[in-house]
Amino acid sequence: MVGSEEKLDELRRLLGKADGDPLRIAGVGAGAWGSVFLALLQDSYGRYRDKIQIRIWRRCGRAVDRPTAEHLFEVINSREDVLRRLIRRCAYLKYVEARLGDRTLYADEILRDGFCLNMVDTPLCPLKVVTNLQEAVWDADIVVNGLPSTETREVFEEISKYWKERLTVPIIISLSKGIEAALQPVPHIITPTRMIHRATGVPMENILYLGGPNIASEIYNKEYANARICGAEKWRKHLAKFLRQPHFIVWDNSDLVTHEVMGGLKNVYAIGAGMVAALTNESATSKSVYFAHCTSEMIFITHLLAEDPEKLAGPLLADTYVTLLKGRNAWYGQMLAKGGLNLDMGDSISGKGMIQGVSAVGAFYELLSQSSLNMSRHGERKPVAPVELCPILKTLYKILIKREQSSEDILQALRDENMNDPRDRIEIAQSHAFYMPSLLGKPIDS
């Protein structure tokens, strides 16, 4: 097996790094997965300080509320290794003071000590945290996008200002899941990698997407996980090798469209999965019925966007499964159905971060409801918008965005006697009759 230093040296050579010039990796956004991803790199390569520098940017000023500070104190005292580390760093006293309410902690401050605000139960390694965006990214060779899709465009437009004088083109690895819908000049979606491309001018061959069946805290605790890095051949195989660890296997794949779109779709349907689980007292039968219908909608939508998308199987199916089973979007759906949360609280939840599926529901619905995309459904003369073939998506839109229905209506969507067999929807999708390259803005900047 190739060792960490050998993998690092190989990537440095490919990037033309001279001796004494460290490989610079910058994470942008410090949610759970973004923080864990950078912490994994720090654990693997951080000891080679003359060859690599790893840093992460997050906005300053986000205060840690007292209940979270109290819980964090309990986590620290339950882990002898963490307790000793903080004492050695002369950092333990501030957590005592926060526990007593005598001091306010901040998210960037605790991240330096190895604690992510959205995942305080899982201590990470200490990270170099930068709160000035320009300082974080201006000379970075590799930038890891850990931002929500709703923030990606704005932040990378800011980053582009700092790259105007660059002589080299950076590599960007996007972890973001979600989309935007645009209706002009024709209805189309914009994925995070395309947001980054449009904001910065970095060519698409240098922008990759990484996703996989993973829960951030479990990966950092070294539970075995798979991931795929998707994009142009120029970098993906080299990066897959660099990122691979014994417990985190990274494969490479050329189908950026399917994986990135599925990354957004799985969060949409995970909210509904959480609702179904809560409303049926974790009924395996109900959850399996929901799984059959929602995956058929996902397959249908990806076939509108890609002429020959990768099949929803293997790791791609596993990624969908784990997100429906466990994760912040499924948790959000459960809490809505149980009454533990309400929609007026917004989609950024304390201790969880951004619930990506909410904005994605609105974007996919808005896009697929456009009359200009109308299609003829089998056995019917009147053309319908594609969203009419996605009853779960329609229901989630009415619950989450329009607020015309309650969570309980997700069950009615499954029990509708007029609903087609999921197989029918998949067959329609796989007929290739409705592939619409314009939905990805292909005529504009393919």
H helical segments located in 15-142: 32-45, 66-78, 80-88, 92-100, 107-112, 133-137
User: pLDDT value at position 433?
Assistant: 62
CA 279, distance to chain mean position in Å, is: 26
d(CA 244, CA 236): 12
The answer to whether residue 446 scores a pLDDT higher than 50 is no
User: pLDDT value at position 305?
Assistant: 82
d(CA 241, CA 235): 10
Catalytic residue among 7, 177, 266, 398: 266
pTM of the model: 0.92
Q: What's the CA angle centered on 157, arms 154 and 160, to 5 degrees?
A: 155
> Under 8 Å CB-to-CB from 288, ≥6 apart: which residues?
none
Closest CA to 303 of 180, 426, 179: 426
- Amino acid 77 reads N
SS3 at position 171? strand
Same fold yes or no, 4-61+128-256 and 262-430+437-445: no
- How are strands ordered across the β-sheet holding 142-145? 129-130, 52-57, 23-28, 142-145, 171-174, 207-211, 225-230, 248-253
The answer to whether residue 445 scores a pLDDT higher than 50 is no
User: pLDDT value at position 19?
Assistant: 93
Reply yes or no on whether 266 is catalytic.
yes
Tell me the mean pLDDT in the region 200-228.
93
How many CB atoms sit inside 10 A of residue 245's CB? 16
User: pLDDT value at position 332?
Assistant: 96
Between 162 and 181, the more confident residue is 162
Tell me the mean pLDDT in the region 286-295.
94
d(CA 38, CA 230): 18
Residue 392, φ and ψ in degrees, nearest 5: -70, -45
Domain extents for the chain?
Answer: 4-61+128-256, 66-105, 262-430+437-445
d(CA 203, CA 188): 20
End-to-end C-alpha distance for the chain, whole angstroms? 38
The answer to whether residue 352 scores a pLDDT higher than 70 is yes
16-75: pLDDT as tens digits: 999 999 999 999 999 999 999 999 999 999 999 999 999 999 999 999 999 999 999 999
Between 173 and 190, the more confident residue is 173
Tokens of 296: 């058929």
Between 445 and 341, the more confident residue is 341
User: pLDDT value at position 12?
Assistant: 97
CATH number of 4-61+128-256: 3.40.50.720
Fold of 262-430+437-445: N-(1-d-carboxylethyl)-l-norvaline Dehydrogenase; domain 2 (1.10.1040)
Does residue 255 contact residue 310 with C-beta atoms inside 8 Å? yes
How many CB atoms sit inside 10 A of residue 213's CB? 20
Residue 25, φ and ψ in degrees, nearest 5: -115, 125
The answer to whether residue 377 scores a pLDDT higher than 70 is no
